Amino acid sequence: QVQLQESGPGLVKPSETLSLTCAVSGYSISSGYYWGWIRQPPGKGLEWIGSIYHSGSTYYNPSLKSRVTISVDTSKNQFSLKLSSVTAADTAVYYCAREPETYCGGDCYFYYFDYWGQGTLVTVSS
């Protein structure tokens, strides 16, 4: 069974860098698929942050792109998120998720998030 587990500091100071890691078990990242980060401010909706392929290819939310770096370590079967220059607006539960694809013909692929971590709350405060 595929499982994902986020880890990292629960408290980050303003202007510093938020760093989280997602450990994957039950599936080898090297086997394929994209792997994503999604966040949810307290009491609010979901926001996609970005995704990475096992090769290191990345896609980022344009609204966060200047501050986000997602990397992958296939030897440890994990991927990581770094978000720089954080403010209180970055306080959220951060989720990691698997992003498989379903082929629909030609160059058509459906993407979605099928396995999620439990989430980790990161608070930005001095």
Partner 1 sequence: DIQMTQSPSSLSASVGDRVTITCRASQSISSYLNWYQQKPGKAPKLLIYAASSLQSGVPSRFSGSGSGTDFTLTISSLQPEDFATYYCQQSYSTPRIFTFGPGTKVDIK
- Applying CB under 8 A, the residues found at the interface with partner 1 are 36, 38, 45-48, 51, 59, 61-62, 95, 97, 102, 104, 110-114, 116-119
- The answer to whether 51 and 34 are in contact (CB under 8 A) is yes
Q: Which is nearer to partner 1, 36 or 80 (CB)?
A: 36
Q: Which is nearer to partner 1, 79 or 95 (CB)?
A: 95
Tell me which DSSP letter residue 44 carries: S
Q: Which residues contact 126 (CB under 8 A, 6 or more apart)?
A: 13, 14
Q: Which is nearer to partner 1, 23 or 116 (CB)?
A: 116
- Min dist CB 102 to partner 1, Å, is 6
How remote is the C-alpha of 114 from its chain's centroid?
13
Tell me which DSSP letter residue 42 carries: T
Q: Distance between CA atoms of 58 and 48, rounded to whole angstroms? A: 13
- Min dist CB 25 to partner 1, Å, is 16
- Min dist CB 13 to partner 1, Å, is 26
- Min dist CB 45 to partner 1, Å, is 5
In the chain the first and final C-alpha atoms are separated, in Å, by 39
Q: Which is nearer to partner 1, 59 or 77 (CB)?
A: 59
